[in-house]
Amino acid sequence: MEMLRSLTIILLTSVLVNNYVLSRFLGICPFLGVSKKLNQACGMGMAVTFVMLMATAATWPIQYYLLDPNDLGYMRTIVFILVIAALVQLVEIILKRYIPALHASLGIYLPLITTNCAVLGVTINNINDGYNFLESMVNSLGAGLGFLLAMVLFAGVRSRLESANPPKAFEGLPITLVSAAIVALSFFGFAGIVDGLFA
Amino acid sequence: MSKLQNFLKGIIKENPVLVLVLGTCPTLAITTSVMNALGMGVAATAVLLCSNMAVSALRNVIPDKVRIPCYIVLIAGFVTIVEMIMHAFVPDLYESLGIFLSLIVVNCIILGRAEMYASKNKVVDSALDALGMGVGFTLALFIMSSIREIFGAGTWCGLAIPFAGDYKVMILTMAPGGFFVFGCLIALVNKLTGKKGENKKNMGCAGCPSAYMCGKKDSDGACGGEGEDK
């Protein structure tokens, strides 16, 4: 029961309070680039969640069973990015071969994810925060769902923005960033929710 | 293009942050204080310089098909070196930059310059390009962090500012403030240069190094957001 509680706290924290996009600033490029249409935002969000879980499942054992025993902690950045890059390629090939339907919906987003800093970020954070394997997986799931949530919310905001009429200099990216600021502000409302729920 | 122009273009005309809109994650995250921003700028410039020179020197050796993984390994190697140096000599800065120091690996600016410039040009030109881009990146971070630190925390480089200290706008040092200041800064640059709309194009696939990996550079696919659904 105690474990379930701490896992729930980790999940809620990484979805709402420490949202990877809106409060930790990881994965901003896809957040701004792919959030224009709701279906694209959903596809990207799900692909990121999927890759984050896969990447954590691969990198956590590497850190604790390969790098740490051999005193190679400093190789973490190199090893992780290579593992993630290889993993993304592998997942794409497997999906294409065995689950073409899923590949058709997620496939186009996968190559973009290799250089997504949220994926590398979540794997490094799991190690830095000292999570065990289960906690790491839950944290990654939360990070992915948080990314999905932010993408979907922001896709809604942006569709409204299309019909807005901002000053000339603000057209395009600047007004998008300013509205992202307001969305990020709304996530501040979640700041106390975890403590409140489990008090 | 002369050597001087080659260096200067990264600072103003093709400023990686404010005009090309690359490397947004570190820009938003670590500009809460001027010292962090300068540290990040210097670290990224060092990595950029080394990786551009290495990629340029090896451009005839690296097979075309596996070039991106090769670049990533080179960049990750240099990032690790910079990380270790900073951990040893400036531990405070190392702590406050935290995860974003490792994340220089996936900074769009560095992979983007390797792919777009260093892989096609000579070592000296690539080094100048890297220096220009690095200085441009640092300058943009410096401006943005100055705004956020002076108005948000009432200090500058840790020094107390007499008047601003009384009217702090705390929100500027927090996450929403990052998006807001960045948006306003880009709008200001648009206004000054009168090039409205050009950013839009660069925000899509053309400015994204992943575009070269997914081969959507010209077809304006999913990552651009500008194109229609396929």
Give me the residue spans of the domains in chain B. Answer: 3-193, 203-230
Beta bridge mates, B156? B159
Rounded Cα–Cα distance for residues B110 and B7 (Å): 16
Per-residue pLDDT of chain B (230 residues; tens, 9 = 90+): 678 888 888 887 888 888 878 888 888 888 888 999 999 999 999 999 999 999 999 989 988 888 888 888 899 999 999 999 999 999 999 998 888 888 888 888 888 888 888 888 899 999 999 999 999 999 999 999 999 988 888 888 878 877 777 788 888 888 888 999 999 998 888 888 776 544 444 444 444 545 544 444 433 333 433 332 32
- Are A25 and B28 in contact (CB < 8 Å)? yes
Residues of chain A contacting residue B208, judged by C-beta atoms under 8 Å apart: 29, 33, 112
Q: Are B223 and A34 contacting, i.e. CB atoms less than 8 angstroms apart?
A: yes
- Are B196 and A171 in contact (CB < 8 Å)? yes
pTM, two decimals, is 0.85
At A119, list the tokens: 């994926």
- Are A124 and B99 in contact (CB < 8 Å)? yes
Rg (CA), chain B: 18
Q: Is the pLDDT of residue A109 over 80?
A: no
pLDDT of residue B14: 81
CB pairs under 8 A between A and B: 168
- Are A177 and B174 in contact (CB < 8 Å)? no
The number of beta carbons lying within 10 Å of the beta carbon of residue A101 is 8
Give per-residue pLDDT as tens, B101-148.
Answer: 888 888 888 888 888 888 888 999 999 999 999 999 999 999 999 999
Angle at CA A191, nearest 5°, toward A187 and A193? 105
Residues of chain B contacting residue A108, judged by C-beta atoms under 8 Å apart: 214, 216, 221-222, 230
Q: Is the pLDDT of residue A137 over 70?
A: yes
Q: Which of A63, A112, A147 to mutate to test the interface with B (most CBs of B within 10 A)?
A: A112
Residues of chain B contacting residue A41, judged by C-beta atoms under 8 Å apart: none
Rounded Cα–Cα distance for residues B71 and B52 (Å): 9
Rounded Cα–Cα distance for residues B54 and B49 (Å): 9
Residues of chain A contacting residue B225, judged by C-beta atoms under 8 Å apart: 33-37, 40
pLDDT of residue A145: 94
Averaged over A5-29, what is the pLDDT?
Answer: 87
Task: Give the contacts of B91 (CB within 8 A, at least 6 positions apart).
Answer: none
Residues of chain A contacting residue B187, judged by C-beta atoms under 8 Å apart: 167, 169-170, 174-175
- Are B103 and A128 in contact (CB < 8 Å)? no
Rounded Cα–Cα distance for residues A147 and A48 (Å): 8
- For residue A153, name the pLDDT band (cuts at 50, 70, 90): very high
Rg (CA), chain A: 18
Q: Are B130 and B53 contacting, i.e. CB atoms less than 8 angstroms apart?
A: yes
- Are B178 and A181 in contact (CB < 8 Å)? yes
pLDDT of residue B208: 52
pLDDT of residue B137: 93
Distance from CA of B4 to the nearest CA of A (A): 30
Residues of chain B contacting residue A184, judged by C-beta atoms under 8 Å apart: 175-176, 179
Residue in chain B nearest A19 by alpha carbon: B175
DSSP-derived secondary structure for B26-49: HHHHSTTSHHHHHHHHHHHHHHHH
Give Cα separations from B13 to A188, B10, B127, B195, B200 (angstroms): 37, 6, 18, 11, 16
- Are A115 and B106 in contact (CB < 8 Å)? yes
Rounded Cα–Cα distance for residues A64 and A127 (Å): 9
- Are B108 and A30 in contact (CB < 8 Å)? no
Mean pLDDT, chain A, rounded, equals 86
pLDDT of residue B195: 61
Nearest to B195 by CA among B187, B185, B203, B206: B187
At B97, list the tokens: 């930059």
Q: Find the CB nearest B197 among A120, A171, A184.
A: A171
Q: What is the ipTM of this complex?
A: 0.85
Residues of chain A contacting residue B214, judged by C-beta atoms under 8 Å apart: 108, 111-112
